[in-house]
Amino acid sequence: MLKRTTWSLPHISLLTNTKRTLYGMPVLGYPIEKGCAKLLTPRLLDYHYNKHHRVILEKLNRLIEGTRFQGQPIDQVIKETELSDVSAAIHYYANEHFNHCFYWKSISPNPHKPYGTLKNYLNNDLRSYDVLKKEFMSKATSHFGSGWIWLVLFQHDYLEFRTYSNSENPLTDDCIPLMACDLWEHAYYLDYQNNRQKYLERFWDSIDWGFVNANLEESIKQSAVRLGGETMEQLHPRFTVNRDAPFEVTQKLQNIRIAKGVVTNKVYFDKSVQERIDRGEKFSYRDQDEFESADSDDEDYDEEFEKKL
Amino acid sequence: MLKNATRLIRTPLLTVTSRSQHSLPKLDYPVEGGVPPCISPKQLDYHYNKHHKTYIDKLNGLLPGSEFEGKPLDQIIVETAFDQKHTQVFNNAAQHFNHSFYWKCMTPNGSEFKGEIANAINKQYGSLDSFKKQFTEQAVALFGSGWAWLILKDNQISIWKSSNAGTPFVENAIPLLTCDVWEHAYYLDHQNRRPEYLKTFWDVVNWDFVNQQLVEASSIKHMSE
């Protein structure tokens, strides 16, 4: 298994708006004038985005212009400057630019509830949704000083909340970032002053789980691409179908069926479905329900989970 | 040296300890007036009555039944400084001290730059402006939350930075002047413009207090020699 997950996502460049040679401000998914629902007033959002984040970005671009870092994906810059004294400032500003880009995507005025692969992970997690929230609240409120709290994927299996000080983030840690929450005072001061608890309660209700799911599925795809061939069975069997991907069976390996852009567990196939797959029939996401065996507990579990939300 | 440092801290500090209950020190200026031109009344009210008070409340909550109950503040700080088991106690105790010191370092509309401290700064940095420039640079360059200090160590004054709740006397240095650069110290008035906050900070520094710190530190040193 991978010890240190090297995570280089093409979509990070989109996330941090890397065009040509310098970085740009990410486009927000919601208008600044409206703020972000109950979480951020327009004034706070405006300050955080246009003053803090923009200043960080300008400083970063000024520092990397003309250096070998110009034009590189930001995660690469962050990893290469991690242990360097000379490039400490680049490391700091690159971290903060990345963190803030992730933050803007982690929240939404109309957030998605958990679905897809993420929902599978949550279903199989021993902790309930409320317990996860308690973990998040307790770690985030007890963090002292400036920093961030991230939801991360550890060893392809475990969802964890990790706090980091100042500008540090999972890119230089052994886990994969899924969601970020800014704990620096500037992130909440204008609206909440020292009431970090209230900010975090509202943040939890604003988490866009669709973004979390996208990161999770992307990291799984990346792992699949990297591991390749016969080692596919090392991948976790909890993967599910991407809603948008067409379902095509291309390969059969031991206990795992690999489909193009999709990994499913053979446990869910019964004989008649198997025959259809062998004939080369095309399926869509909606057909997945057919694939689940009658003995599967998942249907009941889903209902319970839905109720909790 | 550390013993001298803590002896010094006890005297000028207003932190009132009675039956292991720490409390907010009384300010030398009314909260409703703020500290013009640096800190508005609203900012001062939040910083003093919410942030500083919360540190004290948390500290008082942690002390009963612990080995630190009834001990003076400086002793608690020194004993918990490098002990991972008591990080929470250290954070709250040190922040209580740091804030109490910070309030004393300021006075509405500032004061005259004179006395021993003026001599020392002019000697070490050439001029007050040069010192202000260097101190401001250090304060602005501090990533994250922390404090910028003027300290006395090994018979020399110097500029020092600390992260989060760091405080000089656990490093065998005597604090002379401090500026809080946690965002909560200036956010309502200056938002992200920390250099602007520092600029107005110089207009409120209470040089009489800073001078007093230096004089007392030197006299204690002479006593021990």
Q: Write down the ipTM of this complex.
A: 0.87
How far is the alpha carbon of B55 from chain A, nearest alpha carbon, in Å? 11
The angle at the Cα of B13, spanning B56 to B211, to the nearest 5 degrees, equals: 135
* pLDDT score of A277: 63
Domain identity same for A15 and A145: yes
Domain identity same for A161 and A234: no
How far is the alpha carbon of B51 from chain A, nearest alpha carbon, in Å? 7
Whether residue A247 contacts residue A263, with contact meaning beta carbons closer than 8 Å, is answered with no
A281-285 long-range Cβ contacts below 8 angstroms, 24+ apart: A282/A246, A282/A247, A282/A248, A283/A247, A284/A246, A284/A247, A285/A241, A285/A242, A285/A243, A285/A244, A285/A245, A285/A247
Domain identity same for A298 and A158: no
- Interface with B, mutate which of A92, A143, A144 (most B CBs under 10 A): A144
Domain identity same for A109 and A235: no
* pLDDT score of A85: 86
Domain identity same for A54 and A108: yes
Q: Give the chain B residue whose CA is nearest to the CA of A187.
A: B183
Q: List residues bridging with B18 in a β-sheet.
A: B21
- Binding site residue list of B for Mn(2+): 47, 99, 180, 184
- Quote the percentage of chain B above a pLDDT of 90: 75
For residue A218, CA distances in Å to A46, A215, B38, B41 come to: 30, 5, 49, 50
A146 and B91 in contact by Cβ < 8 A? no
The candidate with the shortest Cα–Cα distance to A171, out of A1, A3, A8, A56, is: A8
Token pair recorded at residue A159: 């969802």
Task: Look at residue A145 and give its three-state secondary structure.
Answer: coil
Domain identity same for A209 and A61: yes
Q: What average pLDDT score do residues B151-174 get?
A: 93
User: 10 Å Cβ neighbour count for B18?
Assistant: 8
Choose the closest CB to A167 out of B50, B143, B164.
Answer: B143
- Interface with B, mutate which of A47, A51, A167, A194 (most B CBs under 10 A): A194
Higher pLDDT, B139 or A258: B139
Whether residue A214 contacts residue A248, with contact meaning beta carbons closer than 8 Å, is answered with no
* pLDDT score of B11: 41
- Average pLDDT along chain B: 89
The CATH homologous superfamily for domain B1-11+40-225 is Iron/manganese superoxide dismutase, C-terminal domain (3.55.40.20)
A193 and B46 in contact by Cβ < 8 A? yes
Q: Give the chain B residue whose CA is nearest to the CA of A191.
A: B188
Domain identity same for A56 and A153: yes
Domain identity same for A70 and A212: yes
Write the single-letter amino acid at A114. Answer: P
How far apart are alpha carbons B205 and B188 in whole angstroms? 20
User: 10 Å Cβ neighbour count for A13?
Assistant: 16
- Final residue of a domain: which of A223, A249, A282? A223
User: Quick one: DSSP state of residue A51?
Assistant: I
Task: Look at residue A160 and give its three-state secondary structure.
Answer: strand
A194 and B50 in contact by Cβ < 8 A? yes
Domain identity same for A238 and A219: no
Contacts of B2 (CB under 8 A, 6+ apart): B78, B169, B172
Could you report the per-residue pLDDT of A62-93, keeping only the tens digit for each? 999 889 888 888 888 999 999 888 899 999 99
CATH of the domain at A46: 3.55.40.20
B144 and A145 in contact by Cβ < 8 A? yes
Choose the closest CB to A186 out of B50, B143, B192.
Answer: B192
Could you report the per-residue pLDDT of A252-294, keeping only the tens digit for each? 222 233 333 333 333 334 456 667 666 766 655 445 444 443 3
* pLDDT score of B221: 60
Q: pTM for this one?
A: 0.78
- Final residue of a domain: which of A171, A192, A223? A223
Task: Look at residue A162 and give its three-state secondary structure.
Answer: strand
B-chain residues near A145 (CB < 8 A): 144-146, 163-165, 182
Which of A295-304, B79-88, B100-109 is most confident? B100-109
Whether residue A158 contacts residue A80, with contact meaning beta carbons closer than 8 Å, is answered with no
- Interface with A, mutate which of B187, B188, B196 (most A CBs under 10 A): B187
Could you report the per-residue pLDDT of B42-52, keeping only the tens digit for each? 999 999 999 99
B188 and A189 in contact by Cβ < 8 A? yes
Residues within 8 A of B (CB atoms), A 156-215 only: 165-167, 184-186, 189-190, 193-194
Q: Give the chain A residue whose CA is nearest to the CA of B184.
A: A185
pLDDT above 50 (res B218): yes
Domain identity same for A252 and A214: no
Q: Where are the domains of chain B?
A: 1-11+40-225
Q: How many domains does chain A have?
A: 2
Task: Look at residue A275 and give its three-state secondary structure.
Answer: helix
* pLDDT score of B34: 95
Length of chain A: 309
B184 and A165 in contact by Cβ < 8 A? no
Domain identity same for A165 and A289: no
B191 and A167 in contact by Cβ < 8 A? no
Choose the closest CB to A184 out of B51, B165, B183.
Answer: B183
- Final residue of a domain: which of A198, A223, A248? A223
For residue A279, CA distances in Å to A232, A249, A268, A276, A283 come to: 23, 10, 18, 5, 12
The domain of A35 spans: 4-223
* pLDDT score of A86: 87
Domain identity same for A242 and A125: no
Q: List residues bridging with B205 in a β-sheet.
A: B106
Q: What average pLDDT score do residues B176-186 get?
A: 96
DSSP chain B: -HHHHHHHHHTT---EEETTEEEPPPPSS-GGG-BTTTB-HHHHHIIIIIIIHHHHHHHHHH-TTSTTTT--HHHHHHHHTT-GGGHHHHHHHHHHHHHHHHHHTB-TT-----SHHHHHHHHHHSSHHHHHHHHHHHHHH--SSEEEEEEEETTEEEEEEEETT--GGGGT-EEEEEEE-SGGGTHHHHTT-HHHHHHHHTTTB-HHHHHHHHHHHHHHHHHH-
From first to last of its 309 residues, what are the pLDDT tens digits of chain A?
333 333 444 456 556 665 557 888 888 889 999 999 999 999 999 999 999 999 999 999 999 988 988 888 888 899 999 988 889 999 999 999 999 999 999 999 999 999 888 888 888 888 888 999 999 999 999 999 999 999 999 877 789 999 999 999 999 998 899 999 999 999 999 999 989 999 999 999 999 999 998 888 888 777 665 554 333 334 444 443 333 443 333 332 222 333 333 333 333 344 566 676 667 666 554 454 444 433 333 433 444 444 554
How far apart are alpha carbons B119 and B156 in whole angstroms? 12
Q: Give alpha helix (H) positions in A37-86.
A: 42-46, 54-64, 74-80
* pLDDT score of B222: 56
